[in-house]
């Protein structure tokens, strides 16, 4: 375990050193996050006013905050790593990962990161803090919600990784990652506000309820604490699945000769 933490730390410091290169890019990302956060706030208020969302505005901000944090995590970690993974498949350089003594799936998940999501992570944290303080949420719900949020982000990541395994059979996964990130964005509102077929897809086909709505509901005290256990179980299951499916997909990997 210590070895894995060390790899994670080394990977993070190397990545952070690379960021210093494109400072202007980061300023643009900050601008984008500001624009989008403003847009999301205006949208959630408009939907509450129109009666489409049956929520108090502060509750809406909690849902929105969690979704924005997840979106920032996608931009910072999920997207860059999955794109780097597909690039390895394309170039036939997956060997560099396979030859290392740690689990390849773990190494693929922590190989890089981008500062692009940091503004979204900050905006999400601000929205969350705003909503939670307006509602006067207690320490117990705060702890539970924060724990659930960490687990939920991991669930979303592993789920996206499973989809990225398509990269073994098709060329690019960039748009696929964008699509998944966008679908998780649907969790910025309670899933129950969507029309029934969409609600079913977001609950059972994609773990959007689990990965985005559930932490918000734990913050708000609307879901039972057992939800955390549920997240933990799903996370374990997804890891086992990722491990098996990666091994299976690897059989179709023909390196640079393929």
Member of 1, 17, 99, 195 binding other proteins (CB under 8 A): 195
Q: Which of residues 26-65 bind other proteins (CB under 8 A)?
A: 27-29, 31-32, 35-36, 38-40, 42-43, 46-47, 49-54
Member of 90, 176, 245, 249 binding other proteins (CB under 8 A): 176
User: Least distance from C-beta 252 to other proteins, angstroms?
Assistant: 16
Q: Please give the distance of CA 99 from its chain centroid, rounded to a whole number.
A: 28
Report if residue 74 touches other proteins, rule: CB under 8 A: no
Tokens describing residue 77: 């970690």
Cα gap 25→150, rounded to integer Å: 27
Burial class for 13, CB neighbours closer than 10 Å (0-12, 13-18, 19+): exposed
Report if residue 175 touches other proteins, rule: CB under 8 A: yes
User: Least distance from C-beta 31 to other proteins, angstroms?
Assistant: 5
Burial class for 183, CB neighbours closer than 10 Å (0-12, 13-18, 19+): middle
Cα gap 218→140, rounded to integer Å: 10
Q: Which of residues 131-170 bind other proteins (CB under 8 A)?
A: 170
Tokens describing residue 43: 């949208």
List of residues contacting other proteins (CB under 8 A) = 22, 24-25, 27-29, 31-32, 35-36, 38-40, 42-43, 46-47, 49-54, 170-172, 174-176, 178-179, 182-183, 185-186, 189, 193-195, 197-198
């Amino acid at each position: 375990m210590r070895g894995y933490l060390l790899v994670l730390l080394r990977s993070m410091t190397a990545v952070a050193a690379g960021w210093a290169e494109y400072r202007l890019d980061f300023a643009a990302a900050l601008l984008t996050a500001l624009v989008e956060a403003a847009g999301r706030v205006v949208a959630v208020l408009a939907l509450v006013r129109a009666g489409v969302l049956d929520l108090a505005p502060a509750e809406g901000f909690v849902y929105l905050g969690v979704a924005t944090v997840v979106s920032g995590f996608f931009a910072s970690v999920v997207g860059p790593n999955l794109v780097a993974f597909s690039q390895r498949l394309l170039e036939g350089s997956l060997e560099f990962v396979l030859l290392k003594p740690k689990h390849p799936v773990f190494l693929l998940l922590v190989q890089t990161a981008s500062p692009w999501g940091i503004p979204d992570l900050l905006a999400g944290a601000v929205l969350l803090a705003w909503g939670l303080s307006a509602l006067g949420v207690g320490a117990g719900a705060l702890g539970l919600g924060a724990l659930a949020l960490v687990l939920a982000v991991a669930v979303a990541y592993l789920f996206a990784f499973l989809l990225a395994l398509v990269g073994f059979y098709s060329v690019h996964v960039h748009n696929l990652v964008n699509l998944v990130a966008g679908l998780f964005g649907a969790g910025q509102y309670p899933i129950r506000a969507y029309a029934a077929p969409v609600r079913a897809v977001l609950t059972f086909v994609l773990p959007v309820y689990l990965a985005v709505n559930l932490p918000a509901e734990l913050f708000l005290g609307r879901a039972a604490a057992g939800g955390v256990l549920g997240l933990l179980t799903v996370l374990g299951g997804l890891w086992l699945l990722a491990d098996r499916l990666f091994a299976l997909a690897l059989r179709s990997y023909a390196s640079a000769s393929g």
